Amino acid sequence: MSKPIALITGATSGIGEATARILSKDYRLIICGRRKDRLEKLRDELETDVQILSFDVREKEAVFNAIASLADEWQIIDTLINNAGNAHGLDLIQEGNTDDWDAMLDINVKGLLYVSKAILPKMVDRKKGHIVNISSIAGLEVYPRGNVYCASKHAVDALTKGMRMDLNEHGIKVTSIDPGLVETEFSEVRFKGDSKRAKQVYQNYTPLTAQDVAETIEFVLNRPAHVMIGDVLILPTDQASSTIVNKKSK
């Protein structure tokens, strides 16, 4: 029997890439992202059948066209990992950059919706599937200067709950993974390439790694058919909340 198929957005780095690597043991993969060269490199390193789709989740037509372009045998997607997401800026609300606001809402909320819309009808037809939305502790709490990013992740939390209700009668599992501080390219994107400032975010404590989150995703997906893990908050031991982190010299 052929392996099931998982589609992963934002697979070019961080949690998405780590998830692709860990799921490659048990799944055929459709890896998605904007940076085609990274997708090709990852495909060549994985020991499973891989399709690559290069598109920006913000672009509705590009999303639907890319997924529709898959061959029939790749249209039966068993698992969707909605991982693509970004934070832009860390400004007070009155000083916020509206382009940053658009980027966060378009990627984190609308992008998740577009990809889900493209894939869910076939899951509903088969009455089988699993959606994993990668949210954040920012979807459960609000922190100073996090305003629009936190709002976008609160929207993901609400959408996940709504999906779970709407898809319940179809036997489709819906899970939210809510990480705390994870050392990836996240902060470098938030600070617009300021690698020094980004590095400071992860100093004097031990953050999560992308592998930690990927292993949690793997665990969730491997539960028996009658078990659905609804929501997982995963934090580094040094973190108690969005604003409480035990920073010390290490």
101 SS3 class:
helix
CB 83 within 8 A of CB 112: no
Catalogue the long-range contacts made by 92-97 (C-beta closer than 8 Å, 24 or more residues apart): 92/145, 92/147, 93/147, 93/148, 96/147, 96/148
The dihedral region occupied by 94, where left means phi > 0, alpha psi between -120 and 50, and beta the remainder, is alpha
Catalytic residues: 149
Residues 5, 76: Cα–Cα separation, whole Å: 7
Q: How far is CA 242 from the centre of its chain?
A: 19
